[in-house]
């Protein structure tokens, strides 16, 4: 079992870095874990089918928050985006691959949940490229638009909002509705 509530899971296409079948799992502690499904692929041989899923990496957002909702977008690790709805009335947008691109803060502590992921990759903590504020209550649901240009959110303040996602401007920290 995972150490936190699972809010979303998304298959990730293999690429040059990750050749096996993988899934990204978005967790309530504002982290994304990349898991190898091992022999869980339908095309796997009978001998490979017995290999258990394995944690490949864990990336935590630099803004540590408990999330009531999280939505993933993207089918490749480098394109993966996270919309996390916090208990602090904001939606945080971040990209796990920013940990690879140097757009992350160092974190020298081992993961308490998965101490075996204490590599440099596991310690990098990307900052949000946008923080969406305007709700007056905890964010209960977030959803990416089909084209990825908008995020929709609902809150326990009994409102729903639509937010424009900044065009590649990772330095922008606040986006108005």
Measured distance CA(118)–CA(159) in Å, rounded = 40
**CA distances (Å), 175 to each of 121, 126, 162, in order?**
29, 18, 11
Q: Is 90 helix (H, G, I), strand (E, B) or coil?
A: strand
Is 152 in contact with 139 (CB distance < 8 Å)?
A: no
Count CB neighbours of 13 within 10 A.
12
**CA distances (Å), 7 to each of 47, 69, 71, 81, 136, in order?**
32, 6, 7, 14, 22
Q: Smallest Cα–Cα separation from 177: which of 32, 7, 155?
A: 155
Measured distance CA(98)–CA(59) in Å, rounded = 10
pLDDT tens digits in sequence order for the chain, 177 residues long: 688 999 999 999 876 666 678 999 999 999 999 999 875 444 544 444 557 888 999 999 999 889 999 999 999 999 999 999 999 999 999 999 998 875 444 444 444 444 454 443 445 799 999 999 999 999 999 999 999 999 999 999 999 999 999 976 444 444 445
Measured distance CA(14)–CA(162) in Å, rounded = 32
Stretch (H or E) spanning 123: helix 120-123
Q: What is the pTM (predicted TM-score) of this model?
A: 0.78
Residue with the two structure tokens 């974190």? 107
């Amino acid at each position: 079992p995972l150490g936190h509530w699972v809010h979303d899971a998304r298959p990730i296409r293999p690429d040059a870095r990750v050749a096996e079948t993988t899934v990204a799992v978005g967790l309530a502690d504002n982290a994304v874990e990349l898991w190898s499904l091992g022999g869980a692929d339908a095309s796997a041989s009978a001998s490979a089918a017995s290999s258990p899923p394995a944690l490949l990496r864990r990336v935590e957002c630099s803004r540590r928050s408990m999330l009531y909702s999280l939505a993933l977008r993207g089918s490749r690790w480098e394109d993966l985006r996270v919309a996390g709805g916090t208990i602090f009335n904001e939606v945080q947008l971040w990209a796990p691959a920013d940990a690879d691109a140097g757009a992350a803060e160092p974190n020298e502590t081992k993961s308490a949940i998965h101490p075996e992921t204490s590599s440099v990759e596991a310690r990098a903590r990307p900052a949000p490229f946008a923080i969406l504020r305007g709700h007056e209550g905890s964010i209960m649901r977030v959803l990416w638009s089909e084209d990825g240009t908008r995020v929709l959110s609902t809150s326990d303040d009994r409102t729903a909002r639509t937010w424009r996602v900044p065009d590649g401007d990772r330095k922008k920290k606040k986006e108005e509705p």
